[in-house]
Structure 1
Amino acid sequence: MTPTTIVAAEAPETCCTPAESAVSAQEVVRMAAVFKAMGDPTRVRLLSLIAAGEQGEACVCDLTDPVGLSQSTVSHHMRILTEAGLVERAQRGKWAYYSVVRPALDDAAAALRAF
């Protein structure tokens, strides 16, 4: 039997063309904060309650009973949603009122569609 000579094909210098991100690095960080804020079931529930509220807003005092949490815990969740840009806060006397920032939700949906 005659030995067979195997010739290795030349390997390309790179395995593939580097992919370009659909979103900028800055946008990735911002959207990660938004998705992290929405990654908690309580915060999603709070967003839903606020959106369904009269005139698209809700007082923090009206959010505690539906989620079964103390006012301070609800305020903590609302701070996270506010920092993520998903809600806006307005102080009226001693109560804080929140409204959903619809463009922020639209941006989050658009970011997912970009993938």
Structure 2
Amino acid sequence: MKRTNGSLASAPAVDDCVRLGAEPLDRPEAERLAKLLKAVADPARLQLLSIIHAAPDGEACVCDLIDPLGLSQPTVSHHLKVLTDAGVLTRERRGYWAYFRLVPERWLTLRELFT
């Protein structure tokens, strides 16, 4: 496991990317992928990933994510925590605000999963 800003994340290496259909998944791999898919299988979380991915510096402050989603700050923070705990995002605190970035390996896993 890899430590990311104080929390443990099990981000796979680029070589660990799995494509459905390449060969049957074993149970541990299926469970790992199911956990990742469960974390992103929410409209608000997909929006968050999209916004962060499209951000000019590839990162976004939680303060900039509230209005586009139309959700309260605690709700947005909850969704960001789920994504961070799943290893999809990293979190960096700067003063009062937290900034989030995509974890490249996890983003690649999501992109490659269905190709």
Q: TM-score range by the shorter chain?
A: 0.7 to 0.9
RCO higher in structure (CA 8 A, sep ≥6): 2
Pairing 1:45–2:47 present: yes
Give 2:88's aligned residue: 86
**1:50–1:99 CA contact under 8 A, matched in 2:** yes
Instruction: Tell me the distance in 1 between the aligned counterparts of 2:29 and 2:113.
Output: 9
How many aligned positions are there? 93
Greater shift, 87-96 or 99-108, is seen at: 99-108
Instruction: Tell me the distance in 2 between the aligned counterparts of 1:112 and 1:29.
Output: 16
Cα offset for 1:29? 1.6
More strand, by proportion: 2
Q: TM-score, normalised by structure 1?
A: 0.74
Instruction: Tell me the distance in 1 between the aligned counterparts of 2:88 and 2:67.
Output: 21
Matches within 5 A, 1:51-90: 51-90=53-92
Greater shift, 63-72 or 102-111, is seen at: 102-111
Q: How much is the aligned-residue C-alpha RMSD, in angstroms? A: 1.5
Q: TM-score, normalised by structure 2?
A: 0.74
What secondary structure, in the 3-state scheme, does the structure 1 residue paired with 2:57 have?
helix
**1:34–1:84 CA contact under 8 A, matched in 2:** yes
Structure of larger gyration radius: 1
Give 1:33's aligned residue: 35
Q: Between the two proteins, what is the percent identity of the paired residues?
A: 46
Q: Which amino acid aligns with 2:104?
A: R
Segments of structure 2 that go 5 or more residues without pairing to the other structure are: 1-22
What secondary structure, in the 3-state scheme, does the structure 1 residue paired with 2:48 have?
helix
**1:31–1:108 CA contact under 8 A, matched in 2:** no
Q: Cα deviations across residues 48-99 of structure 1 (Å, max 9, x unaligned)?
A: 0011112100000000000001111000000111111111111111111000
Cα offset for 1:109? 3.6
Give 2:15's aligned residue: none
